[in-house]
Chains A and B, each alone.
Chain A
Amino acid sequence: MPYPAYMEGSIKKVEATREKRLKETFARLTDEQKNPLLEEFHPDFIKEAMRELVVGPSKGGRAPLELVDLLEGNARVDPDKIDLNKIDYDVDVLILGFGGAGASAAIMAHQGGAKVMVATKLRLGDANTVGAQAGTQAADRPEDSPIMHYIDTMGGGHGDNLPDLVEALVKDAPSAIKWLEDLGVCWDKNPDGSMHELSGGGASRLRLHSCRDYTGLEEMRVLRDEFRNRKIDFLEYSPAIELIIDDRGKVSGAVLVNMETNELTIVRAKAVVMATGGMGRLHFQGFPTTNHYGATADGLVLAYRAGAELIFIDTMQYHPTGAVYPVQILGQLVTEKVRALGAQLANSEGEQFIMPLEPRDVVASSIIRECRGRNKGIKTPHGEFGVWLDSPMIDLIRGEGTIAREIPAMVRQFGRYDINIIKEPMLIYPTLHYQNGGIKMAADGATTVPGLFAAGEVGGGVHGRNRLIGNSTLDIFVFGRRAGTAAANYVKTAKVGKLTLEHVRRWQKELAKAGIAKSRPISPRLLPDYARQPYDYLAEYAKEMLEPGQIKVA
């Protein structure tokens, strides 16, 4: 399915302006230019798409409607019907989620001498981490420094980041890279051994460490292998559906569900590390997403119900370049590396409209403006709009063969649909990518609830209101490692009291008091529901039979 004939005119214009654009540098926007652009076009600023939380520790805060629904949701477990004396697993540290953060935490907690167990929703490593293509930041070149990394991260986050977390991020970064290399991650390098680093949006230095455009996959498969070698216990397809808190208010385990049989598993643990990742599958405002199938905000829901404070959950990252054509890959990521290598953005007339490496919120807003505000988008056969990402420029700038060598996953993905990105531009539009905020945490991963640690995308504070490229696959290793180590230390003296689900009881009462229990869904969501089901007699029947507090997945 190459591009439809009607797009040819516009592609010709992109080709015709290429030479001129190659010489053209588009000035970075000043704050005075950025702010109105964001306010008018960034999805975070659409008032009707947000709502205030009326219960819980962050009451009064705002977040996207779909998220607020789940945060205020009804529990899947009924405390009256669960026997917490029947403990299936008894461990020191329970890690929820096995992406990059969970894997790092598990390895470090194990190294710290703790008895560790992992429970995850899909397979080990089915996570946002494997999708990361572009790379991981670390200020390790002589031209760079952790100081510059600090300034870039704070600036990108609009100055709202928590300074202690940013300090930990930038100072731990080089050793995180080294840790991964010592485990066998193959970083892209120059022949002399120096790292082959690229620039990323909002970064003032070349700082992105990559493994071709399979960076997250490479990081994940090495960590998973190391994890397996350590023979740490794990359960797959067994997401947590509630935390367990002891009679002294400490998080002391979790209730898991086998998603295929609905059987429950009770894990008692002296500490829990929440590493459940993001929430792209909630499709805010109908946006498609780059996220994996299990990215449904479960960790936020569980932590919130257990009393943890959340921070910056009103800000999402819309990646500027998601595929809009062909429809088979709608919303899937076109890595920022394409722009880092030199590709520019162009509208239907072949004109550049933004410096391609501005921070993501700015680039995404400018694309939305081009399509919705200026009518210079290209319409797809399915009715979506997009602008061009002029990939062929890369080989012109960096020499033939660069595209094939640096972004093989992209060449392969579009090649499947007969689009040759070495010769033809890609059609893109912003896609829901990342939750900038999350569970408020300290530099060792501790949350505001004792016994509960957090790491990775589920955590909040380090990226302020906007995360920079490459800072997330960094954050998962930095804080995954810190949380794992801190949890292993914490359990040395922690004692578990009597297990309870009192907080769930209190929660349901609070919902009832606020008059919203009946109008809110059951959460955590666990999986999105994409099945187009005509009329399902069995499901309808089942619905009538089950009270709120059901554990069923579907």
Chain B
Amino acid sequence: MTEQTKIVDIYIMGKHYQVPEGLTIMTALEYCGYRLVRGCGCRAGFCGACATVYNLKDDPQLKFDLACQKTVEQDMYLAQIPFFPAAKATYDIEKLEPTGEQVLAVYPLIEKCFGCNTCTKACPQELEVMWYMSDILRGDIPEVMNKSFDCVMCGLCAARCPQGLVPYNYALLSRRLYGKYLAPRSKHLEDRIAEINANKFDADIEKLKKMDKKEIQKKYQTRDIEAAY
């Protein structure tokens, strides 16, 4: 930190601390002496372990974010919420149909969504959660996949839903149905697997395996390279 670093006042579970400006909620907790076990995973905005709530001194409205990404602000009140288990159905993906009715059959509670949009407001990834819920109800699985794709499954939507729904699990099932049943097949992938199973490359790879370091490096140096774009 340079000399001009500003100091920010924050409150961790009620107690006042002063921390240098520019820390994230996570690093501010550590700066104040907290050693995290729960609520900390990738530390980079991908795993959803660090979902957190906070509010500001004169603003009682609860706000939501990822502790590893959100910068601390003056007069922030912080509390860590542990990740809690949410209802997940078990199913055999091989036996499902890629339809909205199917998702509803696995998770019948979805019908209880009354469109309050609290989930959307809670999403730290700014996904349109309520809209993908309605896409499920309309049976538009590709749209659910599309709108929910960047979901890190942090659980904040479920934590906030007044109906006790778990949107991120419904989206996960929908995406799996899309990937498995609805995405167009890759013929070249299947062809290649067939070729490998027919041992088409074995003789050549055997030859390469026998090369010494010098030979293989020479091969590498002189290989032709496809244009990147």
Taking Cβ atoms with an 8 Å cutoff, the residues of A that contact B are 1, 30-31, 122-123, 125-128, 130-131, 138-143, 145-148, 150-152, 154-156, 158-160, 163-164, 166-167, 170-171, 174-175, 177-178, 181-187, 189, 191-195, 198-199, 204-206, 211-212, 214, 216-218, 221-222, 225-226, 228-229, 231, 237, 259-260, 290, 292-294, 326-329, 332-333, 340-342, 357, 381-383, 397-398, 408-409, 412-413, 416-417, 527, 529-534, 536, 553-554
Taking the closest CB of chain B, its distance from the CB of A542, in whole angstroms, is 14
Query: Which residues, 37 to 78 on B, are CB-close (under 8 Å) to A?
Result: 37-38, 40-47, 49, 69-71
Contact A217–B90 (Cβ < 8 Å)? no
Which residues of A sit under 8 angstroms from B149, Cβ to Cβ? 186, 211-212, 214, 218
Rounded to whole angstroms, the CA-CA distance of A212 and B223 in the bound complex is 29
Which residues of A sit under 8 angstroms from B175, Cβ to Cβ? 184, 186, 218, 222
Which residues of B sit under 8 angstroms from A185, Cβ to Cβ? 179
The winner among B190, B201, B221, B224 for most chain A CB atoms within 10 A is B201
Contact A187–B179 (Cβ < 8 Å)? yes
Asked if B184 is at the interface (CB within 8 A of a chain A CB), the reply is yes
Contact B47–A130 (Cβ < 8 Å)? yes
> Count of chain B residues with Cβ under 8 Å from any Cβ of A?
78
**Known contacts A146-B201, A531-B35: does B190 contact A178 (CB below 8 Å)?**
yes
Asked if B192 is at the interface (CB within 8 A of a chain A CB), the reply is yes
**Known contacts A237-B38, A413-B45: does B188 contact A184 (CB below 8 Å)?**
no
Contact A327–B22 (Cβ < 8 Å)? yes
Rounded to whole angstroms, the CA-CA distance of A292 and B221 in the bound complex is 35
Which residues of B sit under 8 angstroms from A237, Cβ to Cβ? 37-38
Partner of A155, one of B31, B35, B220: B220
Taking the closest CB of chain B, its distance from the CB of A190, in whole angstroms, is 8
Seed contacts A126-B49, A328-B23; 15 additional CB < 8 Å A-B pairs: A1-B22, A125-B47, A146-B201, A155-B223, A167-B205, A171-B196, A174-B196, A193-B183, A195-B189, A204-B225, A206-B228, A292-B41, A293-B43, A329-B44, A534-B33
Taking the closest CB of chain B, its distance from the CB of A103, in whole angstroms, is 14
Partner of A184, one of B1, B179, B208: B179
Query: Which residues, 140 to 169 on B, are CB-close (under 8 Å) to A?
Result: 145, 149-150, 152-153
Contact B172–A225 (Cβ < 8 Å)? yes
Partner of A530, one of B35, B190, B205: B35
Taking the closest CB of chain A, its distance from the CB of B95, in whole angstroms, is 11
**Known contacts A155-B219, A186-B178: does B228 contact A333 (CB below 8 Å)?**
no
Contact B224–A142 (Cβ < 8 Å)? no
The winner among B33, B145, B188 for most chain A CB atoms within 10 A is B188
Contact A195–B188 (Cβ < 8 Å)? yes
**Known contacts A175-B196, A187-B183: does B188 contact A140 (CB below 8 Å)?**
yes
Taking the closest CB of chain B, its distance from the CB of A532, in whole angstroms, is 5
Contact A123–B83 (Cβ < 8 Å)? yes
Taking the closest CB of chain A, its distance from the CB of B209, in whole angstroms, is 4
Query: Which residues, 197 to 229 on B, are CB-close (under 8 Å) to A?
Result: 201, 204-205, 208-209, 213-214, 216-217, 219-221, 223-226, 228-229
Asked if B88 is at the interface (CB within 8 A of a chain A CB), the reply is yes
Contact B192–A530 (Cβ < 8 Å)? no
Contact B228–A126 (Cβ < 8 Å)? no
Asked if B134 is at the interface (CB within 8 A of a chain A CB), the reply is no
Taking the closest CB of chain A, its distance from the CB of B8, in whole angstroms, is 13
- 10 pairs, CB–CB < 8 Å, chain A vs chain B: A30-B221, A31-B217, A155-B221, A159-B213, A183-B176, A226-B93, A260-B38, A292-B42, A292-B47, A412-B125
Which residues of A sit under 8 angstroms from B152, Cβ to Cβ? 130, 217
Question: Of all chain A residues, which has the CB nearest B182?
Answer: A186
Which residues of B sit under 8 angstroms from A159, Cβ to Cβ? 213-214, 216-217, 220
Rounded to whole angstroms, the CA-CA distance of A280 and B111 in the bound complex is 45
Partner of A554, one of B35, B45, B177, B185: B35
**Known contacts A194-B188, A204-B224, A212-B149: does B217 contact A381 (CB below 8 Å)?**
no
Contact A131–B188 (Cβ < 8 Å)? no
**Known contacts A140-B189, A178-B190, A332-B44: does B209 contact A342 (CB below 8 Å)?**
no
**Known contacts A174-B192, A189-B184, A328-B24: does B2 contact A184 (CB below 8 Å)?**
no
**Known contacts A123-B41, A131-B42, A195-B188: does B22 contact A170 (CB below 8 Å)?**
no
Question: Of all chain A residues, which has the CB nearest B23?
Answer: A328
Contact B188–A189 (Cβ < 8 Å)? no
